[in-house]
C-alpha cells in the first residue's frame, strides 16, 4: 500500500512574475519582528558621528548593533558564525535587512564601540522603565565570573617577570659585547652581508624583553589601582594576552576572569545597572553598583539585597551614606547568635560575640570581656581576652583555634557598628522575608545568561570587555521585553510592522 506523503508545492519549481516577500515564510508570531520594533527605538546618533563621509558607505550602526544583539540573544557569539547565520538564517536576514557584514566588520565593530554598548544598555533600562517592566522597588545585587580571552599558559608572575627582565638584560648586553669582539672578523663571519644586521638571537631577546617590560609595567599599574600603597606580592600574575584580566575562581577552578556585577529589578528580572570589576571578591562593589544605578536610572532603589559576599565595612558604609534600605546576609550561621545553653557543636563565629559601642569591647558567650590589645598595619583593631579564662571556658574547643593556647582574638575597624546594626536587622523575620526574595531575583539572571552559551569574552582589555558585558546585559533586557510583549504583559505603541507592505 502506498503511503500518501505530502507532495511538493507547485511553486517549488516555478518562478513568479511578482514574488512574495521572502519574510512571509516566517511565522507571524516570530520574535524577530518584535526585536525589529525594539531595535528601531535605539538611538545611535553618538556613534554615527564617528563615521566619515569619505570612502565607501558603511553599514549603519543601528544595523550592526541590531545584528549583534539578536545574535547574542540566539546564543551566537562568534563573528564568523554571525556572518554565516546572516547568509543562511531567515530571521537573521530580517534583522540584517538582507545585508551580510563580513565577520571582520562585525568583530571590529564589537571591539571599537565599547562606550556605545554601555550607552545602548542604558537605553534598554530606560525603555524597560517606560514599559513598566521595572520599578526599582527591590533591587538585588550579585556578581559572577566570566572567562577572559586569554590562558594561564600565557602568563607570568611578578617575581618571574623581574627575574626574566634581569636575565634578558644581561644576555642582551653579553650578545652586544660578543658582537663588538667579532667586529674584526666580520668579513669572514658575515661574508657577503654588510655586517650591520642584528643577529637573530639578539632580535628575539630584545623583542621578548620589550614584552616583559610592558607586562611588568601593566601589572604594577593594575596593582597600584587595586591596592594603592601596598607592596606587590611576587606571586601576583599577569597575562601577556590580556593584561587587565586577573586570576579568579573557587573550589580549585582558577583562571583568568573578570567579575561581572549586575543589579536586577524584582519585577521582571530587568538588569537596571551593571559594571565590570577586577576584584576577585565583592567586598568593594556596592559603591560602584550604586553609582551605576544612578547613572542608568537617575535614582536609587527602595530596597537592595545582596549575599554575604558583600558583607564588608566599605559596602555597609556606602549604603549608609546613600540612605539605602539594604538587606545583606552577615554570613552562614551569623544571623542567629549562640545561646549560652545551646547544644550545637559548631564553631563560634564573630556574630556570637556581643559588641559594646560605648566602651569598644566585645563579650564572648562565656561572659568574658575582650578589649583592644593592638592595631594592625591595615588599620584594624585586634580584641583579645585572657588565656587563663579561655582555658576554663566550656566553649574553649569551639572557640579558641590557637595551637599555642592563646586566647580568642577578634578583628574589627571603625565600621563595626554598621556590621552590628546589619546583623541585628537580619535577625528580624521581616528582614529575612525580604532577603529570601534575592535568590529568585538575581541568581536566575546569571543562569539565563550562561545557559544561553555566554561563558567568556571575545575581546581583550577591561574597556573592551566592559563594552561586551554591556552588550550581554542589553541583550538580556531586550529578551525580557520580547518575552513580556509575547505574553501580552505590555502593549508598546511602537507602530505596526507589516510583513508585506506591497500587499
Beta bridge partners of residue 371, listed in sequence order: 384
Structure pTM? 0.80
Q: pLDDT per residue over 34-52, tens digit each?
A: 999 899 889 999 898 888 8
Q: DSSP letter at 153?
A: G
Identify the DSSP state of 13.
Answer: G
- Cβ–Cβ < 8 Å for 458, 80: no
**DSSP string covering 227-254, please?**
STT-PPPTT-EEESS-TT-EEEEETTEE
Residues of the chain with CATH 3.30.420: 246-333+427-451
Distance CA 30, CA 27 (A): 5
Which CATH architecture is the domain 246-333+427-451 placed in?
2-Layer Sandwich (3.30)
pLDDT tens for the chain, residues 1 to 503: 556 656 666 666 666 655 578 888 899 889 999 999 899 889 999 898 888 888 778 899 999 999 999 999 999 999 999 999 999 999 999 999 999 999 999 999 999 999 999 999 999 999 999 889 999 999 999 999 999 988 766 656 556 556 666 665 665 566 566 666 665 565 555 555 555 555 666 566 566 666 666 666 666 777 777 777 777 776 677 777 788 888 887 777 788 899 999 999 999 999 999 999 999 899 999 999 999 999 999 999 999 999 999 998 899 999 999 999 999 998 654 444 444 444 456 788 887 888 888 888 899 988 999 999 988 776 788 999 898 889 889 888 888 888 888 889 888 888 888 888 998 899 999 999 999 999 999 999 999 999 999 999 999 999 999 999 999 999 999 999 999 888 888 776 654 433 333 33
What is the 8-class DSSP label of residue 343? Answer: -
Buried b (16+ CB within 10 A) or exposed e, 195-205: eeeeeeebeeb
Distance of alpha carbon 101 from alpha carbon 110, whole angstroms: 13
One DSSP character per residue, 287-311 reads HHHHHHHHHHHSS--SEEEE-GGG-
CA-based end-to-end distance of the chain: 44
- 35-64 in b/e form (b: 16+ CB < 10 A) is bbbbbebbebeebeeeeeeeeeeebebbbb
Kindly report the number of other CB atoms within 10 A of residue 169's CB atom: 14
Q: Which residue has the cell 516566517?
A: 26
Amino acid at each position: 500500500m502506498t503511503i500518501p506523503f505530502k507532495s511538493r508545492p507547485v511553486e517549488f519549481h516555478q518562478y513568479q512574475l511578482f514574488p512574495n516577500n521572502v519574510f512571509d515564510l516566517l511565522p507571524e508570531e516570530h520574535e524577530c519582528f518584535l526585536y525589529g520594533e525594539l531595535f528601531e527605538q535605539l538611538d545611535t546618533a553618538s556613534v554615527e558621528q564617528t563615521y566619515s563621509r569619505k570612502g565607501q558607505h558603511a553599514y549603519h550602526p543601528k544595523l550592526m548593533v541590531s545584528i549583534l544583539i539578536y545574535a547574542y540573544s540566539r546564543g551566537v557569539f562568534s563573528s564568523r558564525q554571525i556572518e554565516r547565520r546572516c547568509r543562511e538564517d531567515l530571521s537573521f536576514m530580517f534583522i540584517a535587512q538582507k545585508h551580510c557584514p563580513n565577520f571582520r566588520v562585525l568583530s571590529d565593530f564589537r571591539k571599537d564601540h565599547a562606550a556605545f554598548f554601555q550607552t545602548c544598555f542604558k537605553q534598554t533600562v530606560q525603555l524597560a522603565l517606560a514599559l513598566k517592566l521595572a520599578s526599582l522597588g527591590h533591587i538585588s545585587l550579585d556578581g559572577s565570573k566570566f572567562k577572559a580571552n586569554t590562558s594561564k599558559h600565557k602568563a607570568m608572575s611578578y617575581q618571574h617577570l623581574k627575574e626574566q627582565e634581569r636575565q634578558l638584560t644581561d644576555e642582551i648586553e653579553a650578545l652586544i659585547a660578543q658582537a663588538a669582539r667579532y667586529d674584526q672578523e666580520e668579513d669572514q663571519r658575515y661574508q657577503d652581508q654588510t655586517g650591520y644586521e642584528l643577529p637573530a638571537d639578539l632580535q628575539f631577546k630584545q623583542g621578548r624583553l620589550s614584552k616583559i617590560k610592558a607586562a611588568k609595567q601593566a601589572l604594577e599599574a593594575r596593582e597600584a589601582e587595586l591596592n594603592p600603597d601596598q607592596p606587590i606580592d611576587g606571586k601576583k600574575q599577569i597575562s601577556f594576552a590580556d593584561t587587565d584580566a586577573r586570576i579568579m575562581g573557587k573550589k580549585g577552578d582558577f583562571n583568568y576572569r573578570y567579575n561581572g556585577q549586575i543589579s536586577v529589578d524584582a519585577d521582571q528580572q530587568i538588569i537596571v545597572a551593571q559594571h565590570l570589576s577586577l576584584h576577585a571578591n565583592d567586598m568593594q562593589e556596592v559603591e560602584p553598583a550604586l553609582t551605576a544605578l544612578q547613572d542608568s536610572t537617575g535614582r536609587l532603589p527602595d530596597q537592595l539585597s545582596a549575599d554575604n559576599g558583600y558583607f564588608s565595612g566599605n559596602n555597609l558604609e556606602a549604603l549608609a551614606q546613600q540612605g539605602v534600605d539594604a538587606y545583606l546576609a552577615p554570613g552562614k550561621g551569623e544571623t542567629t547568635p549562640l545561646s549560652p545553653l545551646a547544644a550545637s557543636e559548631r564553631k563560634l563565629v564573630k556574630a556570637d560575640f556581643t559588641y559594646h559601642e560605648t566602651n569598644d569591647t566585645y563579650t564572648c558567650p562565656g561572659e568574658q570581656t575582650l578589649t583592644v590589645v593592638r592595631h594592625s598595619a591595615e588599620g584594624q583593631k585586634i580584641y583579645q581576652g585572657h588565656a587563663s579564662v579561655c582555658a576554663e571556658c566550656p566553649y574553649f574547643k569551639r572557640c579558641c583555634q590557637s595551637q599555642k593556647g592563646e586566647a580568642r582574638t577578634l578583628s574589627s575597624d571603625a565600621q563595626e557598628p554598621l556590621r552590628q546594626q546589619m546583623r541585628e536587622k537580619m535577625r528580624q523575620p521581616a528582614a529575612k522575608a525580604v532577603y529570601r526574595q534575592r535568590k529568585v531575583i538575581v541568581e536566575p539572571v546569571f543562569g539565563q545568561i550562561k545557559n544561553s552559551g555566554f561563558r567568556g569574552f571575545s575581546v581583550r582589555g577591561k574597556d573592551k570587555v566592559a563594552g561586551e558585558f554591556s552588550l550581554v546585559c542589553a541583550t538580556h533586557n531586550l529578551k525580557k521585553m520580547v518575552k513580556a510583549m509575547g505574553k501580552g504583559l505590555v502593549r508598546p505603541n511602537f507602530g505596526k510592522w507589516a510583513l508585506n507592505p506591497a500587499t
